[in-house]
Amino acid sequence: MELQPPADDVVVQLSAAAVAAVDERSSMNHDGDNAGAGDGGRARRTFSQYYKMEHRKAPDFKWWQIGVLSYQSLGIIYGDLGTSPLYVFSTVMLPDPGEEDFLGILSLILWTLTLIGLLKYTFIVLHADDHGEGGTFALYSLLRQHVNFSGSMPMPVTRLASDINLKFHSKKKKLPSKMREFLERSTTAQSVITYVVLIATSMVMGDGALTPAISVLSAVQGIQSRSPKITQELWDKQSQPRFLSYYLLWFAFVSLIGLYNIIKYYPPVLKAVSPLHIITFFARNKRKAWEQLGAIVLCITGAEAMFADLGHFNKSSIQMGFSAVVYPSMILAYSGQAAFLIKNPSKLRTTFYSSTPEPLFWPMFIIATLSAIVASQALISASFSIIRQSIALGCFPRVTMKHTSEKYEGQVYSPEVNYLMITCILITYGFKGGPQIGQAFGTVVIWVMLFTTTLMTVVMVVVWQTNIIAVGLFFALFFCIEGIYMTSLLNKVLQGGWVPFANTAFFLAITMSWTYGRRKKNEYDAANLVGKQEFIKIVTGSSQVPGICIFCTDLMNGIPPIVRHYVKHTGSIREVMVFVTVRILPVRSVLPEERFLVDKLDHVGVYRCILQYGYMDNHNMDDDDFVVLVVASLKQIADNDEILLLDSAFTNGTSFVIGRTILKMSITRNCFKRFVINNLYRFLQKNFRSNMSSLKIAPGKTLQVGMHYEI
């Protein structure tokens, strides 16, 4: 009764005719919806439109197209990094800073931007994409495609022989590296990598509450330094081109103001490019200099977004945007601020607005405020996308995900996750000032960068098979730089640095409770499968009803216990039974023709269907479309009699059976594990959506079977 690794004839590829049939059925059933589209209604999208995304192709962009994409990336990718001049110098806390101090700080900023922003992210990390998708999950996906993960993992691990043939599955090297062989032998190393990914993503989720807080407080400082009140423009979400132009103005203004301050206050300020000024800074301030690293690291906040948002752009446009616009703008901006502070050290707390020339203050204030808002929104949107990927990989409970764009995938909104706003308000109110939030923000930034450096090192060895000397240099250089910054921030744990750890612990508790509960449920299901003889007895002893019954299960092999419970309460079965499992693969996307794996089980009219998705795929599908596709797939492996049976069953309707499982851990088990299952997991299970919620099933076709598992 088990589904073995599928042979080529079992991996069903949907024909163009099958997909076209679903599209035709969709348009026929929803003509009324389409008719209203001209009146402001939204035309219904067909199966093909859901899954055949144009930007999955790798077009050969012309230079001017790359330029347009670079322009669009300014606000979307570089919003956070671009607005960092608002608060970097203001977060520095030196008792009596002088010229050498400001030159030393500027030298640290210049070298940090150059080594981490330009060298590490722009020219190295951007190349570690998963078919155009970037971010922590992309690195993890690459490793999962090249390394056979096994054992008791926090994330579900399933592997079939057919996976390697998927369009978006990376091909393994013919000669495996020693590192890959080690990782495949060591389940401990696999678990460490997985936990690193979970911690990194939990930190980025919590970062969604810190970016708005520090950006808003920076704008408030501008008001406090000039006293009068102003009316802020409202953010019109429909005016993206306008806000992209704001960011172009932002980079132009900070560059020109920086150049003006250099010429007016201290023309030789660019001598800070010499690292000797860093040595002088540490020799002069000793421990105080080391403590300021937590503020200086804020100059590189948002560099991770270059990699995380890679899926919406291409490498060349991101590299051009940073190298030609962002990097030189930041150099001029920070150099101008340092030049101003050398002559006006008392203005350190309000550096940005104090260094802005009087006639440009109000225009700059409006542009800075709008830019800070866009930067905050970009980070919050990134949190939505990361949670969506976490849900797809089975390590976060399913929340509501609304797709805000029908043209581009990955642009999502979650009402539940939007409660990050409450955390943002509490942080802003609790600290009442920028330095503490800056220390918290910097902690997130540097830890995520350390995790990226670690994962990149493994990718370079296992996937790229880079020369071990080059890998060693990469790891030693960036781990040392980021590690030094991290030690400074750990010193600030009691002064705001604890916030990101608290946020991370909150999201990690949700993740670990959810994955542990799901794993225990699957273990119970696997241990209580319906045996072959028992299933035959159930089939022969129950009355058969015309139609199709689709059992939704997490198991890929065997007859799930839900069948036993279903027959016990109904006393009947349908003439065709299909056990459907939604499987999320560690690949960017699964094409429509690769979506279904089907197989026949031992008894006539009993089938297994695996519905496959990548972690960036849209899962929404109507129940009618789904049934048509399942039947079309089954016909391709059925004989003539079975085809007649499928046609007959299809005309008699379909019902969906979904299990509602309640886990209860016995009193003899570990009290902490008992608390996790009986309280945390049960709370998440009750308050979040089911795994099959993305399949839009009509209530009249659904039967929910309650099951109580004592574990």
321 and 449 in a single domain? The answer is yes
Kindly tell me if the per-residue pLDDT of 344 is higher than 80.
yes
471 and 533 in a single domain? The answer is no
250 and 158 in a single domain? The answer is yes
Phi-psi region of 236 (alpha: psi -120 to 50; beta: other; left: phi over 0): beta
Kindly tell me if the per-residue pLDDT of 630 is higher than 80.
yes
Q: Which residue has the higher pLDDT, 151 or 234?
A: 151
Kindly tell me if the per-residue pLDDT of 643 is higher than 50.
yes
Rg of the chain over all Cα atoms, to the nearest angstrom? 28
Count of domains forming the chain: 2
Which pair of structure tokens corresponds to residue 360? Answer: 């440009």
Q: Is 349 a member of any domain?
A: yes
507 and 554 in a single domain? The answer is no
Q: What is the DSSP letter of 680?
A: I
Is residue 616 within 8 Å of 311, Cβ to Cβ? yes
pLDDT, one tens digit per residue, over 261-277 is 999 999 999 999 999 99
Boundary-marking domain end, from 495, 516, 537:
516
Residues facing residue 37 across a β-bridge: none
541 and 689 in a single domain? The answer is yes
449 and 570 in a single domain? The answer is no
pLDDT (mean) for 602-627: 80
For the ranges 25-39, 130-144, 175-189, 471-485, the lowest mean pLDDT is seen at 25-39
Name the most confidently modeled range: 5-19, 232-246, 518-532: 518-532
pLDDT (mean) for 573-602: 85
Q: Which residue has the higher pLDDT, 683 or 418?
A: 683
Q: Is 705 a member of any domain?
A: yes
Q: Is 59 a member of any domain?
A: no
Residues facing residue 663 across a β-bridge: 709
Boundary-marking domain end, from 516, 544, 576:
516
Q: Name, in order, each residue with C-beta under 8 angstroms of 327's C-beta and a sequence gap of 6 or more.
A: 113, 117, 118
The helix/strand/coil state of 689 is: strand
Q: Which helix (H) or strand (E) holds 658?
A: strand 654-664
Kindly tell me if the per-residue pLDDT of 401 is higher than 70.
no
Kindly tell me if the per-residue pLDDT of 333 is higher than 90.
yes
pTM (2 d.p.): 0.76
CB atoms within 10 A of CB 557: 15
Looking at residue 36, what is its pLDDT? 39
Mean of pLDDT over the chain: 78
Kindly tell me if the per-residue pLDDT of 95 is higher than 70.
yes
540 and 432 in a single domain? The answer is no
Kindly tell me if the per-residue pLDDT of 233 is higher than 50.
no
Range of the domain at 142: 66-167+180-226+242-516
Looking at residue 114, what is its pLDDT? 96
Cα gap 411→248, rounded to integer Å: 23
Q: Is 628 a member of any domain?
A: yes
485 and 557 in a single domain? The answer is no
The helix/strand/coil state of 116 is: helix
458 and 581 in a single domain? The answer is no
Boundary-marking domain end, from 485, 516, 547:
516
pLDDT (mean) for 342-368: 91
Is residue 350 within 8 Å of 341, Cβ to Cβ? no
Q: Whole-angstrom distance between the N-terminal and C-terminal Cα of the chain?
A: 25
495 and 624 in a single domain? The answer is no
Q: Is 15 a member of any domain?
A: no
For the ranges 124-128, 174-178, 702-706, the lowest mean pLDDT is seen at 174-178
Q: Which residue has the higher pLDDT, 110 or 398?
A: 110
538 and 450 in a single domain? The answer is no
Q: Is 234 a member of any domain?
A: no
Q: Is 9 a member of any domain?
A: no
Q: Which residue has the higher pLDDT, 653 or 1?
A: 653
In angstroms, how far is CA 5 from the centroid of its own chain? 30
pLDDT, one tens digit per residue, over 13-50 is 444 445 455 445 444 444 444 443 333 333 344 433 43
478 and 608 in a single domain? The answer is no
Looking at residue 42, what is its pLDDT? 37
Q: Is 214 a member of any domain?
A: yes
Cα gap 74→85, rounded to integer Å: 15
